[in-house]
Structure 1
Amino acid sequence: MSSDRKIIADTLESEETRVAILEDGRLSEIFIERMWDHQKAGEIYKARVESVLPGINAAFVSIGDGRNAFLYLNDAQGMKIVPNQELVVQVTKTARKNKGARVTPRLSLPGRYLVLVPGGGETGVSRRIASEDERKRLRHFAKALRGDDFGVIIRTAAEGVDEETLAKDVESLLALWREIEHNASRQSAPCLLYKDMGLLGRVLRDEVHGGVDEIIVDGEEEFGHVNDFISRLYGTDKPHVVLYGGVVPIFEYYGVEREIEGALDRKVWLRSGAYLVIEHTEALTVIDVNTGKFVGDLDMRHTTLATNLEAADEIARQLRLRSIGGIVVIDFIDMEFEEDRSCLLNRLEEVFHSDRSRARVFSMTQLGLVEITRKRGRPDLRSVLTRGCPFCSDTGWVLREDTVAMSIKRFLRKIAHANRAEALLIQASAPIAQYVGDTYLQLWEEELERRILIVGMPEFAWSKYRVELQGTCEAVERRAKQMERRESSVVVHRSSAS
């Protein structure tokens, strides 16, 4: 575990919340939640079965937004699933690309130290707790705490925790489940019954036990929530909670924005001068390891092993950072000696041991290929921030419209801090200007207390934008009309309230 671990929360924008985990000053994980994201993992719905397809052993169920969710019939053992049936389900995988959310009727409610399983009879202990004596102690508590109509699974954070603390967690989760049951009995499907904690709350619940030194938040309201949350969880040795009040946006100040941009690059340079190339396909992710500028200090054998070992460390970090799941094939530099291959495989096992998304490392082929499978916990970073390029039939990719829009919003907030100009005239590429005008402009004007006009510039690159003018409303409007008269292809977008 890193000796210096921080959680940085960017919470000022109403449209988006971002939470970063920094280890020794480097970004290790990034979580992003947007206000229009539907069916987040953990949410519980009262659903209606739309269709049952025995041929693929699945059913499609309506959970309320017009996009049906997918339910494996194997998850509903002991239940007869028929069309128009109402049942309570939980989202296990969020919708991604052209796939709807995946749901299950087997529910679970995570707490700080354990997971309550309504309707289950199981007891379990996290496999990440290595000590057999501690596992035996916690399994004994789990059996004592389990009820007739619910099971209990002990989380990794419970290591060293006493039975009384675990019992309080059960009590709290059981009260929540009774409330969900009550709401389900009174409401018609499809409807939302339970929404998990907000993004920051979920990260704190799942990550704070990992030795976090500092939590830095840029919003006063969230700052209060975090202090309350930490006070409930900790008696002593609490992480230090800081309210960031700088003018420079918090992610920019801590270097997170730069690292997010780097996490979208194909090429990743290692400190030695070697590099990785990361390629995504529909079925798997391929990573190529290259010596690059690294020539080593000894012979070729030691240079190759050193490069591969350094690459293994960075690959584990990149998979976490980019939230890459599924099948990963790594083309390491060929190694002649079996002991070197064993050394590399041992390093891979070691670096993936602390990964919360379970990873399995397979043996190495004679060509130096290693296959890794990693559990898919949430959409990968590239799919969250980018989309297929509209100019080249999706053979490349560009930043998503909402990603560019949020970059513009943070830029405008920085300007609003610096001066009190009545109005702003922004230039952006035509598709982005259209998107901002249709989606955000009125909201931004209300929040930033400025008149905002955004001009679609046909010659601008997709993600390029800049401020054309700051000043009075009259001056900005006059300049916008001049631009429209000068070139017919220029479109000025104004909010409906303007």
Structure 2
Amino acid sequence: MRRGKTIVANTLESEESRVAVLDPSGHLLDIYLERMWERQRAGEIYKARVDNVLPGMNAAFLNLGDGRNGFLYLADLGRKPSPGEELVVQVAKTARKGKGARVTPRVSLPGRYVVLVPDGRDVGVSKRVADEEERKRLKELGRQVLPEGFGMIVRTVAEGCGLDEMRCDVEDLMGLWDEISSAARRTAAPCLLYRDGGLLERVLRDELDRDVAEVVLDNPEDLETVTSMCLKFFGPSGGPEVTLYRGRGSVFEVYGVERELELALDKKVWLSSGAYLVIDQAEALTVIDVNTGKYTGAKDLRHTVLKTNLEAAEEVARQLRIRAIGGIVVVDFIDMDSEEDRKILLERLKELFKGDRHRARVFGITPLGLVELTRKRSRSDLRSVLTRGCPMCGSSGFVEREEASAMKLKRAIRKAVGSSSPEAILVAMNPHGARHCLEYLSSWEEEFRCRIFLKEDPSLQWGKFKLEYQGQLRQVEHRLVPSSGGAWVVHRTD
């Protein structure tokens, strides 16, 4: 089998589909994940009803019919719509983190070789097609098959394709647009008009090229679809090998994808040299810090710093793809005094992002030595798909120090003693905090002239406690016997 990229599909579970793209060395390049209950995915087309127009925000909220409104910039529409008006819109950005989807009236239909744009004009060619002669050829082919009243973007995968292949692709898309237009005329808003094919079909349409050597499936039901797609795209020969995985373990485990997914949720990413990245994702932007770590270099400091930064640049580009991070990204590379080295780093970054399906722009190095870049966000990032906010820390990313919890408890005991002068106090506390407070019990009892009992309660979150009883000693001791048998874990000074 020839050497190239591998596409691995894990679609056995009806509730969730996952597709991974691996480089020729078997390292993860990209991961796509979709759950059956997800709504408002990018590319879906709706007949929506305008619910509310907010001139102050230059926006309107549209009812898409599935319980969550879409957000439309009025500049995209070119006018101010009226409440109740019906519009055909497409999801441009998937709903995420409690926000509705961003929608646009500028519908586009992706095919294998072209993206058809109703109400568009002329033909554009993907910027990822670098050869000028090929760009001119593809543009001329596009103009020959472009329907009147439509625009078109020729995709990167069209490099080397012929007129008949492009014409066939356009005819398929025109038939699809006719179906969508017909549905829009006969149905009332709000409703879904069109949803793209399944995850595996979409990934193959976008990723399958002659650099892909193998497609690995774990679901026999996908075999016919994938084989026919490969035949359509490449003919009887020249396409990738299609393999049905029949092993006992998960196909993602066998190909190392599960492990890479776990690593993609870590803040710290180790590089082969011993240097590492620290990736901090926030609502407004993502910050990446580069550290030399264990790497000391073999030559002078300048060489060490440049080599580390270039290695880090490759991993930054890879991690942004794997984690599906979009928006503003700031990278704090190791400081470089040489202007020549800075140029080398920036050029390398720009080169790395040329192959990214989601448009990225590298803006340069700020006076503080930070590299600023942006990456188009078209789907939810991996962290938000696979994780949720921590209930222990209230999603802050931090939990209270044991010393701080102990002092809070002491102040609560002081308040209780001051208000009622109890003989004894029973405190329920998170087990970790209760064990930490053991060392203070004797001194607190002496200071407050009151017996203190600490009961471990696993149902309480980290650092939390509650005063369950304050009063006579015998009443507290009576409460230490569980009504259902068994025993509490209680800490006391005797």
Residue in structure 2 matched with residue 11 of structure 1 by the alignment: 11
Computed over aligned residues only, the root mean square deviation of the Cα atoms, in angstroms, reads: 2.3
Letter in 2 for 1:43: E
Contact 1:388 1:397 in 2 (8 A): no
1:460 is displaced (CA, Å) by 13
Letter in 1 for 2:263: G
Rounded Cα–Cα distance in structure 1 between residues aligned with 2:55 and 2:48? 19
Contact 1:278 1:286 in 2 (8 A): yes
SS in structure 2 at match of 1:202:
helix
Residue in structure 1 matched with residue 436 of structure 2 by the alignment: none
TM-score normalized by structure 2? Answer: 0.79
Rounded Cα–Cα distance in structure 2 between residues aligned with 1:35 and 1:313? 34
**After the TM superposition, which residues 112-131 of structure 1 pair with which residues of structure 2 at under 5 Å, given as runs?**
112-131=112-131
Residue in structure 1 matched with residue 440 of structure 2 by the alignment: none
Rounded Cα–Cα distance in structure 2 between residues aligned with 1:179 and 1:199? 21
Residue in structure 2 matched with residue 447 of structure 1 by the alignment: none
Rounded Cα–Cα distance in structure 2 between residues aligned with 1:337 and 1:54? 50
Residue in structure 1 matched with residue 225 of structure 2 by the alignment: 225
Distance 1:487 1:354, change over 3 A: farther
**After the TM superposition, which residues 206-355 of structure 1 pair with which residues of structure 2 at under 5 Å, given as runs?**
206-209=206-209, 211-235=211-235, 236-355=237-356
Question: Which digits, 9 at most, give the CA deviation of each residue in 1:30-49, with x for residues without a partner?
Answer: 11100111011111111111
SS in structure 1 at match of 2:388:
strand
Rounded Cα–Cα distance in structure 2 between residues aligned with 1:337 and 1:181? 58
**Structure 2 unaligned residues grouped into runs of 5+:** 400-456, 463-483, 489-494
Distance 1:246 1:282, change over 3 A: same
Letter in 2 for 1:91: V
Question: Which digits, 9 at most, give the CA deviation of each residue in 1:149-188, with x for residues without a partner?
Answer: 2222111111111111100001111011111111111111
Rounded Cα–Cα distance in structure 2 between residues aligned with 1:281 and 1:264? 14
SS in structure 1 at match of 2:176:
helix
Letter in 1 for 2:61: F
Distance 1:488 1:378, change over 3 A: farther
SS in structure 1 at match of 2:372:
strand
Contact 1:146 1:152 in 2 (8 A): yes
Q: Based on CA coordinates, which of the two structures has the bigger radius of gyration? A: 2
Kindly report structure 1 stretches of 4+ aligned residues shifted beyond 4 Å: 457-462, 485-489
Residue in structure 1 matched with residue 111 of structure 2 by the alignment: 111
**Structure 1 unaligned residues grouped into runs of 5+:** 399-456, 463-484, 490-498
Rounded Cα–Cα distance in structure 1 between residues aligned with 2:315 and 2:76? 36
Letter in 2 for 1:244: Y
SS in structure 1 at match of 2:117:
strand
Q: Does 1:95 align with 2:95?
A: yes
Contact 2:328 2:375 in 1 (8 A): yes
**After the TM superposition, which residues 84-483 of structure 1 pair with which residues of structure 2 at under 5 Å, given as runs?**
84-209=84-209, 211-235=211-235, 236-396=237-397
Rounded Cα–Cα distance in structure 2 between residues aligned with 1:46 and 1:397? 44
Rounded Cα–Cα distance in structure 2 between residues aligned with 1:46 and 1:239? 39
Rounded Cα–Cα distance in structure 2 between residues aligned with 1:110 and 1:7? 20
Greater mean deviation of Cα atoms: 306-315 or 357-366? 357-366
Question: Which digits, 9 at most, give the CA deviation of each residue in 1:33-68, with x for residues without a partner?
Answer: 001110111111111111111111111111111111
SS in structure 1 at match of 2:209:
helix
Question: Which digits, 9 at most, give the CA deviation of each residue in 1:231-271, with x for residues without a partner?
Answer: 11111211111111111011111111111000000100000
SS in structure 1 at match of 2:193:
strand
Rounded Cα–Cα distance in structure 2 between residues aligned with 1:241 and 1:397? 47
Residue in structure 1 matched with residue 405 of structure 2 by the alignment: none
Rounded Cα–Cα distance in structure 2 between residues aligned with 1:213 and 1:183? 39
Residue in structure 2 matched with residue 72 of structure 1 by the alignment: 73
Contact 1:121 1:146 in 2 (8 A): no
Letter in 2 for 1:315: V
